[in-house]
Amino acid sequence: MAASLYGIEQEQKAIWVFLEQESGVLERVSLELLSKGRQLADQAGWPLTGLLLGHAVAPLAREAIAYGADEVVLAEHPLLSIFTVEAHSLVAFSALRQGQPSVFLLGATPNGRDLAGRLAVRLRTGLNADCTDLRLMPETGVLVSEVSGFGGGVLALIEMPHHRPQMATVRPGVFLTGQADYGREGRVIRQPVDLTEALVHTRIVERVTGQSVDLTQTPALVVGGRGIDGRFDVLRELADLIGGEVGATRPPVDEGHIERERQIWQTGVVCRPKVAIVCGVSGAFHFVVGIQGAGLVIAVNSDPHAPIFDFADYCVGGDVFEIVPALIRALRDVREVAHA
Amino acid sequence: MPDLHMVVCLKVVPKPEEIRVDPETRRLDRTHARSEINPPDLNALEVALSLKDEYGGRVSLLSMGPPFFEPYLRVGLAMGAAHAFLLSDRAFGGADTLATTYTLARGIHKLGGADLILCGEESSDGATGQVPAGLAEWLDIGQLTLVSHVDVDPVRGVVRGRRNLKGGYEILEVPLPAVVSVRTASNEPRFMDYRIKPWAFEEGRVTLWSRADLEVDETCIGVAGSPTTVSGLAQARRRERRRQLLTGTPEEVGRQLAELLLPRTAID
Residues A42, A190: one domain?
yes
DSSP B263: G
Name all contacts of A270-273 with Cβ < 8 Å and 24+ positions apart. Answer: A270/A171, A270/A172, A270/A173, A270/A174, A270/A216, A271/A173, A271/A215, A271/A216, A271/A218, A271/A221, A271/A247, A272/A173, A272/A176, A272/A216, A273/A218, A273/A219, A273/A220, A273/A221, A273/A244
**What is the identity of the amino acid at B17?**
E
* A278 against A209, higher pLDDT: A278
- Does A4 sit within 8 Å of B261, measured CB to CB? no
Q: Is residue B55 part of a domain?
A: yes
Which of A154, A158, A315 lies closest to B21 in CB terms?
A154
What is the pLDDT, as a whole number, of residue B27?
Answer: 56
CB-closest option in A241, A260, A314 to B267: A241
- Are residues A195 and A171 part of one domain? yes
Distance CA(A220)–CA(A54), nearest Å, equals: 34
Å between A50 CA and nearest CA of chain B: 23
Q: Is pLDDT at A36 greater than 70 in this prediction?
A: yes
B24 touches chain A (CB under 8 A): no
Residues A79, A180 share a domain: yes
Same domain, A25 and A126: yes
Question: Is the CB of residue B16 less than 8 Å away from at least one CB of chain A?
Answer: yes
pLDDT digits (tens, 9 = 90+) for A244-255: 999 998 889 888
pLDDT at residue A151 greater than cutoff 60: no
**Same structural domain for residues A18 and A127?**
yes
**pLDDT value of residue A275:** 93
**Beta carbons of A156 and B230 less than 8 Å apart:** yes
Q: pLDDT (tens digit, 9 = 90+) per residue, A165-205?
A: 999 999 888 899 999 999 999 999 999 999 999 999 999 99
In terms of CA atoms, which chain A residue is nearest residue B235? A154
Answer whether A67's CB lies under 8 Å from A178's CB. Answer: yes
Residue B36's domain spans which residues?
5-220
Q: Which of residues 201-240 of B touch A (CB under 8 A)?
A: 217, 219-220, 224-239
Are the CB atoms for A129 and A38 separated by under 8 Å? no
Question: Of chain B residues 41-100, which have a CB less than 8 A from chain A?
Answer: 96-98
Q: Please tell me whether residues A247 and A332 are part of one structural domain.
A: yes
Enclosing domain of residue A114? 12-199
The distance of B122 to chain A (nearest Cα, Å) reads 9
Kindly state whether residue A70 falls inside one of the protein's structural domains.
yes
Residue B239 lies in a domain: no
Q: Which amino acid is at A20?
A: E
Looking at residue A132, its pLDDT comes to: 87
A1 pLDDT tier (thresholds 50, 70, 90): confident
pLDDT at A237 over 90: yes
Question: Which parts of chain B sit beneath pLDDT 50?
Answer: none
Q: Are residues A190 and A243 in the same domain?
A: no
Asked whether residue A212 carries a pLDDT value surpassing 80, the answer given is: no
Query: Residue A121: its pLDDT value, please?
Result: 98
**How many domains in chain B?**
1
Q: How far is A188 from chain B (nearest CA, A)?
A: 29
Average pLDDT over residues A48-67: 97
The CATH number for B203's domain is 3.40.50.620
Query: For residue A302, is it within any domain?
Result: yes
Angstrom distance (rounded) from CA B155 to CA B152: 9
Q: Domain for residue B242, yes or no?
A: no
The mean pLDDT value for A8-21 works out to 97
Domain boundary among A199, A227, A250: A199
Interface test with B, best of A8, A132, A202 (most B CBs within 10 A): A202
Asked whether the beta carbons of A189 and A71 are under 8 A apart, the reply is yes
Residue A144 φ/ψ, nearest 5 degrees: -105, 115
d(CA B102, CA B115): 18
B126 Cβ contact list (under 8 Å, min separation 6): A150
Which residues 6+ apart lie within 8 Å of B123 measured at CB?
B11, B13, B38, B40, B41, B131
Interface predicted TM-score of the whole assembly (ipTM), two decimals: 0.90
Q: Where are the beta strands (DSSP E) in A166-267?
A: 166-170, 187-190, 203-208, 220-224, 245-248
With a cut of 90, say whether residue A287 has pLDDT above it. Answer: no
| Other residues' Cβ atoms within 10 Å of the Cβ of residue A230 | 14
Dihedral sign for Cα atoms in the order B91, B92, B93, B98: positive
Domain count, chain A: 2
Q: Is A81 on the interface with B (CB under 8 A)?
A: no
In a domain, B130, yes or no: yes
Rounded Cα distance, B153 and A293, in Å: 47
CB nearest to B253's CB, from A4, A267, A316 = A316
Q: Which positions in chain B touch A129 (Cβ < 8 Å)? A: 97, 128-130
**Does A8 contact B at CB distance below 8 Å?**
no
Residue B265 is predicted with a pLDDT of 78
**Interface subset of A 168-207, CB within 8 angstroms of B:** 201-207
User: Using CA atoms, how far apart are residues B80 and B51, in angstroms rounded to an integer?
Assistant: 12
CATH number at A305 reads: 3.40.50.1220
Q: Between chains, do B266 and A1 touch, taking CB under 8 Å as contact?
A: no
Quick one: which of B55, B69, B197, B195 has its CA closest to B115?
B55
What's the pLDDT at B128?
79
